[in-house]
Amino acid sequence: MAQPLEAGGRPFEPGGLAPAAGPTAVPRGRSSVRRWWGRFARNPGALFGLAVFLAVVAMAVFAPVLAPYDPIAQGVGKPLARPSAEHWAGTDSFGRDIMSRIIYGSRVALVVGIVAVLLAMVIGVTLGLISGYYGGVVDVVIMRVMDGLFAFPIIILAIAMMAVMGFGVRNVIIAVAVGFIAPFARVTRGDVLAVKEEPYIEAARLAGVSGLGIIFQHVLPNVLAPIIVQGALRVSGAIITEAGLSFLGLGPPPPTPAWGRMIAEGQAFIVMAPHVSTFPGIALMLTIVALNLLGDGLRDTLDPRMRR
Amino acid sequence: MVRFVLSRIGQTLAVLFTVSVIIFALMRMIPGDPVLMRLGDDFTQEAYDRLRGELGLDRSIVTQYVIWLRQVLTGDLGDSVLNHERVSRLVLEAFVPTLLLVVASVVVGILIAVPSGIVAAMRKDSPWDYGSMGFAIFGYSMPSFWKGIILIWIFSVYLGWFPAMGYVPPWTNFWEGLWRLVLPAVTLGTFFSGLVARIIRSSLLEVLDQDFVKAARARGVRRAALVYKHALANALIPVVTVIGLQFGALLGGAVLTETVFAIPGMGRLSVSAILNRDYSVVQGTILVGVFAVVLVNLLVDLTYAFLNPRIRVT
């Protein structure tokens, strides 16, 4: 599913912003970070998102310490036992501890979500930089391919990729990443086109800086903020896509704990043991809500369209 | 207007061409020799060479693409390896329930989003605003497959109001079909309504902030009257765009939702095809899915141009 924030409407409401100090005086360094934090911290939703996201990260990093049981060990409790003091989230049909599986499942979710988005970001931004800076035939070819990729619903493209590549975490990451390349390329290209006309780029070109030098030293830093915002907004989409693939049985193979597969496994027992699906779903939903709120907060405070 | 329509159709054809190349390339990347797979136990070198020639695999990759494209354009998507049915028939049969679910979800989504977006904008920063925006965020943050299971749990298992799963085509039994469509449509519709409600709210707020609205307010026109007479029509135009932008996401969501509700649609067809290595069916579902997305985007852009005079005249 995913890319739900595609249609954020007109998210750049210019409310509550100090007038910028002029386009040449883009604030850098520590004071600008502090000023950004000041704006960010005023948004309770974004703070909540950040807190939950950090908690999920901690859960993934310290999973071996936090998880009360081995996530793939069967029969640590009675099958389909309800939540209790020993098993906070109950057990699944194999008698595995659901809480431990949720804790370990955060690893799959975060690794796939973050690595896939980073991968898509590196490829998409590079393509967008080349496309926007050089223009001409290169631009046309790259952007038409991106248009084609963009037409695929992400989950359908990911399903197709899994069909071609076979299962496994690495392939899930690639499959999810491919679906997110086009938006990064588009955003980057658009901003490069705007930055390209700025006098300092002209100056660098006249000073004899090479094309690549201009792209990486002068263009990239100036288009980075919207790219970071895009990245933050896309992680939730990537995690939902991974969960969707897992749910369909096309994700990381069992017994790897993945939230999507846990939800799918629980569906058969929804009448007698609703907790099997419910708890992994809550973990997934909280993570997605947190990332969406965090992304919204970053967008509202980081996007240069609001600073300029 | 004519020029705009023609250029949009041209762009659409270009996108479809790229899409076809991507799908063709994907299908060629599938591991394994398609000739060997078809021959099975009847392998002889002679038979191998003959079939390879028949499939056109001994020609250049460009020729292969042209042959493939000609087949696709004439609606020949091959046969399913599994049950030897025409892929085109299988895919179209599966596409109908999926499309029905998407349409029903858009209807449900708009029914929820318009009132909640209006309420949020009219009572900005009130509990109504926070409530409906919170509902919106949860609506599109909840994975559809999980939301579906929870809805089944509450409304089928616990309350017993709706059937838990299954599909009846509304043209064979209208009310039964509609009844069974309610839970899946609410599942996917609340995702869509979450997006739309936020957009209606922000575009309403923008319109309400404009001078002509302030002037009308100063003349004593009531806010509610303003919203319904002036602001809402403006605020609804972006909704058309969202349908276009999100049609792909809705189709993807439908693929997952119908798996939960055991609706025999594109999701079930493509997943079972993947698990059975029935690649011509996989290809067929992807082709039809992407084609639908591209087509809907074209229609939405044309509708938008029609609604928006600034584009219409250029």
Is A6–B143 a contact, with Cβ atoms under 8 angstroms apart? no
Q: Distance (Å, rounded) from C-alpha A154 to C-alpha B156?
A: 30
Cross-chain residue pair A151–B29, CB shorter than 8 Å: no
Q: What is the mean pLDDT of chain A?
A: 82
Instruction: Tell me the two tokens of residue B257.
Output: 């939702």
Q: Kindly determine whether residue A147 and residue B26, on different chains, have CB atoms separated by under 8 Å.
A: no
As a whole number, mean pLDDT of residues A266-285 equals 89
pLDDT in tens, B253-308: 988 999 889 899 988 888 888 888 788 888 888 888 899 889 888 888 888 777 76
Is any Cβ of chain B less than 8 angstroms from the Cβ of A238? no
How many residues are there in chain B? Answer: 314
Length reported for chain A: 308
**Alpha helix ranges (H) inside chain B:** 2-28, 34-39, 45-54, 61-73, 87-122, 127-141, 144-151, 174-208, 211-218, 223-226, 232-260, 266-275, 279-307, 309-313
- Distance from B172 to chain A by nearest Cα, in Å? 29
In the predicted model, is pLDDT for residue A125 greater than 50?
yes
* Residue from B98, B133, B159, B256 whose CB has the most chain A CBs within 10 Å, to mutate: B256
Q: Per the CB < 8 Å rule, is A281 touching B26?
A: no
A112 versus A1: the higher-pLDDT residue is A112
Please, which pLDDT band fits residue A20 given cuts at 50, 70 and 90? very low
Cα–Cα distance for residue pair A63/B212, rounded to 1 Å: 58
Can you list the residues of chain B whose pLDDT is less than 70? 308-314
Say which amino acid occupies B176.
Answer: E
Output DSSP code: residue A81. Answer: P
Q: Do the Cβ atoms of B256 and A8 come within 8 Å?
A: no
Give one word for A10, left, alpha or beta, with left for phi > 0 and alpha for psi -120 to 50: beta
B209: CB partners within 8 A, 6+ apart: none
Q: Are A234 and A117 in contact (CB under 8 A)?
A: yes
Q: What is the DSSP string of A91-121?
A: B-TT--BHHHHHHHHHHHHHHHHHHHHHHHH
> How far is residue B284's CA from residue B296's CA, in Å, rounded to a whole number?
18
ipTM tops 0.85:
no
- Does the beta-carbon distance from B141 to A267 stay under 8 Å? no
Give me the pLDDT at residue A17, please.
Answer: 36
| Model confidence pLDDT, tens digit, residues A159-199 | 888 888 888 888 899 999 998 999 899 888 988 888 888 88
Among B18, B22, B249, the residue with its CB nearest the CB of A2 is B249
Residue where the block lists tokens 């909280």: A286
The secondary element (H helix, E strand) that includes residue B210 is: none
Residue of A nearest to B158 (CA): A271
Find, among A300, A235, A255, the residue nearest to A101 by Cα: A255
Predicted local confidence at residue A23, as pLDDT? 37
Tell me whether A153 touches chain B (CB under 8 Å).
Answer: yes
Is B251's CB within 8 Å of A247's CB?
Answer: no
Give the gap in angstroms from C-alpha B1 to the nearest C-alpha of chain A.
23
Nearest to A213 by CA among A224, A195, A227, A201: A201
Residues of B with CB below 8 A from A249's CB?
A: 271, 275
DSSP string, A12-25: ----S-PPPS-TT-
Interface A:B, Cβ pairs < 8 A: 186
pLDDT band of residue A13 (cuts 50, 70, 90) is very low
Does residue A120 surpass a pLDDT of 90? yes
Before A255, cis peptide (omega within 30)?
A: yes
Is pLDDT of A21 > 60? no
Best B13, B145, B152, B154 member to test A by mutation, with max A CBs in 10 Å, is B145
Q: Which of A232, A300, A306, A291 is nearest to A40 (CA)?
A: A300
pLDDT at residue A8, as a whole number? 33
Identity at B106, one-letter amino acid code: V
Say yes or no to pLDDT of A3 above 50: no
Using the Cα atoms of residue A138, residue A144, residue A145 and residue A147 in order, give the sign of their dihedral: positive
Q: Is B256's CB within 8 Å of A7's CB?
A: no
Would you call A190 exposed, middle or buried from its count of C-beta atoms within 10 A (0-12, 13-18, 19+)?
A: middle
A236: chain B residues, CB-CB within 8 Å: 141
Judged by CB atoms closer than 8 Å, whether chains meet at A281 and B150 is answered as: yes
Average pLDDT over residues A2-31: 41
Interface of A with B in 192-211 (CB under 8 A): none
B153: closest chain A residue by CA: A270
pLDDT at B311: 57
Output the pLDDT for position A225: 82
Best to test chain B binding among A13, A139, A156, A174 (most B CBs inside 10 Å): A156
Cβ <8 Å between B248 and A148: no
According to the model, what pLDDT value does residue A11 have?
35
